[in-house]
Amino acid sequence: MATGPSRGVSRTVLPGGLRVVTEFLPAVRSVALGIWVGVGSRDEDENHAGATHYLEHLLFKGTERRTALDISAEMDAVGGEMNAFTAKEYTCYYARVLDVDLPLAVDVLSDMVTSSLITPKDVDAERNVVLEEIAMNEDDPSDTVHEAFTAKLFGDTPLGRPILGTTDSINAITREQIHEHYLDRYTPEHLVVAAAGNLDHDVVVELVRQAFGPTLKRTAEPAAPRLGGDQVGQPAGTGTTLVSRGIEQANLVLGCEALARTDDRRFALGVLNAAFGGGMSSRLFQEVREKRGLAYSVYSFAGQHADTGMWGIYVGCLPSKADEVLAICAEEITRVVDGGLSDAELDRGKGQVRGSIVLGLEDPSSRMSRLGKSELVYPALEPVDEVIAAIDAVSHDDVREVAEEILTKPKALAVVGPFDDASAFGV
């Protein structure tokens, strides 16, 4: 089943439910290719914590046709780039190559995804690599504070646990558990092959059909997009969590539960967030850094999942200034809830969100990501013009309503720094 081009976008569903979505970009000489898997860390139970990310590593270790060296060498030989990432709700294996080398990229990535060996030897060797990655993140206080905030907000749930797993879970997980996760989740109905660049859709479809071969013989429909989850109705965490570290800076994240990915109010929250803490002209940056010099890094952020989201403020400051900074943040939240944004702030917020979306789609890799993510977590691919129109339509009333709804919620605070007592930080 295929759908025809729409502004360069075409979609075909192969037997077994495998989806192939492409976008033709005539102005480039490259192609970005991604194989997207509808599984993320939030799909893990406690016995498989960290398995999704661990598996991402292992798929680069070899197949029946290629060793780990063969995989990297074949891509290096054509100047291609290849990597992968694991998120809360999906995993992606991607490559960018010259247009003439697209057949190689399809073959290599498809071979990895469908025919990984996952040998006990590789599992043991890669275990140390994953543990090193966890240690590296724990050595970065800005990463640690965001992980601590997420855990505080969503609790001991799959969404609240770290994508990488923990030292204990990685040490405990077995090859059999990882392989079980692979066989259960890496099936055609959960996969999307997305590509953008100088390509022909029919050619890509045929390359994918050949590369996936026997795996397409099963009968299945594409998995439905992820539009819900187990966080609905779950109370968000509040209060303070402290990770005591003997470092020179206090790292703070103050925030609350926010909007799901498909909530229509996300455009208003995006504009509000941009004006409030999204750039050098934002209120937070001006009040905390420019006027008072209390922090080098300060910003607000919003993140969405299928069934919930988060909004928060990050600040890195001197430990002695933490209380003052938190007080200013609280004051600014109250001020924007009570008074909304000025006309100039509303316009700047719209412009910032609009510009970041359009500029972010100026290369094949971002176009490819848009296609893959839309198939897995959105009801449909939203035309860029419609997204821009929704941003432009945000009004002062929309901003005030979303500020009243979201920013007034009870807050969670995560602190990483040289402190001994979490009770000193009231939220």
pLDDT in tens, 44-59: 988 789 999 999 999 9
Kind and range of the H or E element at 316?
strand 309-317
56 is catalytic: yes
Looking at residue 4, what is its pLDDT? Answer: 44
**Other Cβ atoms within 10 Å of 339 Cβ, number:** 10
Higher pLDDT, 225 or 229: 225
Mapping DSSP to helix (H, G, I), strand (E, B) and coil, where does residue 214 land? helix
Structure tokens at 418: 């040289």
- Residue 29's Cβ-count burial label (10 Å; 0-12, 13-18, 19+) is exposed
From the candidates 56, 126, 257, 375, which is the catalytic residue? Answer: 56
C-alpha radius of gyration, the chain, whole number: 23
Q: What is the pLDDT of residues 335-380, one digit of tens each?
A: 999 999 999 999 999 999 999 999 999 999 999 999 999 999 999 9
Q: What is the pLDDT of residues 261-280, one digit of tens each?
A: 999 999 999 999 999 999 99
Kind and range of the H or E element at 127?
helix 120-139
Looking at residue 7, what is its pLDDT? Answer: 53
Cα four-point dihedral sign 213, 216, 222, 225: negative
* DSSP state letter for 62: B
- Asked if residue 72 has pLDDT above 60, the reply is yes
> Is residue 195 a contact partner of residue 35, using CB atoms and an 8 Å limit?
no
Structure tokens at 36: 């997207």
- Residue 99's Cβ-count burial label (10 Å; 0-12, 13-18, 19+) is middle
pLDDT band, residue 427 (cuts 50/70/90): low
Looking at residue 426, what is its pLDDT? Answer: 64
Looking at residue 164, what is its pLDDT? Answer: 97
Task: Please state, rounded to an integer, the average pLDDT across all residues of the chain.
Answer: 95
Looking at residue 234, what is its pLDDT? Answer: 85
Q: Which of 326, 334, 357 is nearest to 276 (CA)?
A: 334
> Is residue 407 a contact partner of residue 311, using CB atoms and an 8 Å limit?
yes
The C-alpha angle with vertex 346 and arms to 402 and 354, in degrees rounded to 5, equals 95
- Asked if residue 6 has pLDDT above 50, the reply is no
Q: Where are the alpha helices (DSSP H) in 340-395?
A: 343-359, 364-377, 384-392
Separation CA 166–CA 41 (nearest Å): 12
